[in-house]
């Protein structure tokens, strides 16, 4: 298992890469990833919780990017819940 510092570094590299950031965020909440896939739903919730808890430790290249990621991660529980409701 990776340390908190390693995970922070990992997410910094994703969020600060223009060609990766939005692609990864979109893929995390895609219908293909979440529909009828409880394991992916749980993993996404864990990832979003980690990022929310460590948002101030992650170095973003702009304040706007930080706010975008923060808002996105705050919405993850609602997104996952919608898939749970729709698929039950």
**pLDDT per residue rounded down to tens, the chain (88 residues):** 899 999 999 999 999 998 899 999 999 999 888 988 999 999 999 999 999 999 999 999 999 999 999 999 999 999 999 888 655 5
Q: Tell me the residue range of the domain where 68 lies.
A: 4-86
What's the structural domain count of the chain? Answer: 1
Note the pLDDT of residue 36.
85
Q: Is the pTM of this model over 0.85?
A: yes
For residues 1 and 49, the answer to whether their CB atoms sit within 8 Å is no
Tokens of 50: 């980690």
For residues 1 and 7, the answer to whether their CB atoms sit within 8 Å is no
């Amino acid at each position: 298992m990776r340390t908190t510092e390693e995970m922070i570094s990992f997410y910094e590299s994703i969020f600060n890469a223009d060609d990766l950031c939005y692609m990864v965020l979109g893929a995390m909440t895609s219908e293909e990833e979440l529909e009828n896939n409880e394991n992916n739903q749980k993993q996404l919730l864990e990832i979003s919780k980690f990022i929310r808890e460590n948002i101030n430790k992650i170095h973003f290249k702009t304040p706007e990017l930080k706010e975008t990621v923060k808002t996105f991660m705050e919405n993850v529980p609602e997104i996952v819940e919608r898939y749970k409701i729709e698929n039950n």
